Amino acid sequence: MANILTPIRMGPYDLPNRVIMSPMTRNRAGKGNVPGAINASYYAQRSSAGLIVSEATQISPQGVGYPNTPGIHSVEQVEGWKLVTSAVHAAGCRIFLQLWHVGRISHPSLQPDGALPVAPSAVQPAGQAWTPEGMKPFVTPRALEFSEIAQIVEQYGAAAANAKAAGFDGVEIHGANGYLIDQFLRDKTNRRTDAYGGSIPNRARFLIEIAEALVPVWGGERIGVRLSPLNPFNDIADSTPAETFAYAIDQLSSLHLTFLDLVEDKPLEGPALDARYFRRWWQQVLIANRGYDLARANALLASGAADAVAFGVPFLANPDLPERFRRGASLNEPDRSTFYGGGEAGYTDYPFLNPEVAAAT
């Protein structure tokens, strides 16, 4: 019977435990959205995870949605990420890069030449964008031309190749949380009438084409995908999420990707679209993700509904989280005022149970 500290085989990798470090945007990339030494220290500190999935990383300048988030589309960014992967590997851990395009969740001040953000359809999101000049209302995005969609798929492929050059062990496709891929999947944001809109297979086409473009680069066994069937973040929804995501997950499973990182949310009504629900369509490793503590994680793994559990904020505040789980130790309290942007405070200065471990990283 599995528990959170049981080893697991994931694709070609033998992982020492099932504690996955969830992707978390921290807004601490340097000039040119290039990772640096502080980012390498942050990830190395958390290398007792079974697997680290990096913070969301934009595949192109058009994919940027927030200040100081890292990219994987320039030579300088690749070199910066090498610092991170070298540090993580030296500490004995595996790390996947999360590939990201925010779509409409951006602002002209973050776009090349002040252009409009792009999306499947010209549907303005509610809320505000975080810009270098402060919070500003989201704008109405520009609907992508049919020919542009294939170009973005190619950018995902190029970014995946750059991730390999940077020394990552694999990549995760960010198809969740209201960003571009999710905007294509869900019918609140996809109003297209061409081959990428309307029916569920058409709305899932963009995601499937991206996954297919990455397989020749990495092989399916080194590719994961993140989905969030019910998450309303970034003003997004779908009228038939059970059907939409069952189709998408089934199609992705046929590509033999290594894991599904499922962001779980409770529905207002209807079935819980959680790991247990989608297990029947996914044949590979299933990672559950959303507010788990140790007891709930172990109960889920023991039930067989999931194979691993991702932890976000607990890993942010507890760089030695697996060891704390092993000992049954208390957890550090997160400082939410330091989550986004800044320097070492709230990033690399959280205490370890053993100070000598902190010194070694």
> What pLDDT, in 10s, does the model give residues 13-69?
999 999 999 999 999 999 999 999 999 999 999 999 999 999 999 999 999 999 999
What's the whole-number average pLDDT of the chain?
Answer: 96
Chain segment 327-336, per-residue pLDDT in tens: 999 999 999 9
Residue 130 has pLDDT above 60, yes or no: yes
**Per-residue pLDDT reduced to its tens digit, 192-222:** 999 999 999 999 999 999 999 999 999 999 9
List the catalytic residues.
179
Flag whether pLDDT at 360 surpasses 60.
no
Q: How far is CA 11 from CA 44, 49, 140, 156, in A?
A: 22, 16, 41, 21
Does the structure show a pLDDT above 70 at 226?
Answer: yes
Beta bridge partner(s), residue 224: 172, 259
pLDDT of residue 271: 80
Helix ranges (DSSP H) in 188-307: 200-218, 241-253, 275-278, 294-303
The pLDDT score that the predictor gives to residue 357 is 61
Domains and CATH numbers, the chain: 8-360 (3.20.20.70)
Per-residue confidence (pLDDT) for residue 359, from 0 to 100:
54
Q: State yes or no: pLDDT of 356 exceeds 70.
A: no
One-letter amino acid at 177 equals N
Closest of 47, 18, 5 to residue 306, by C-alpha = 18
Q: Are residues 255 and 211 in contact, defined by beta-carbon separation less than 8 angstroms? A: yes
Q: Is residue 280 predicted with pLDDT exceeding 60?
A: yes
pLDDT at residue 203, rounded to an integer:
98
Beta carbons within 8 Å of 139's beta carbon, 6+ residues apart: 107, 108, 116, 117, 124, 129
355 has a pLDDT exceeding 80: no
Task: Return the closest-CA partner of residue 224 out of 298, 281, 160, 272.
Answer: 160
Within 75-133, where are the H helices? 75-90
Q: Tell me, what's the pLDDT at 133?
A: 93
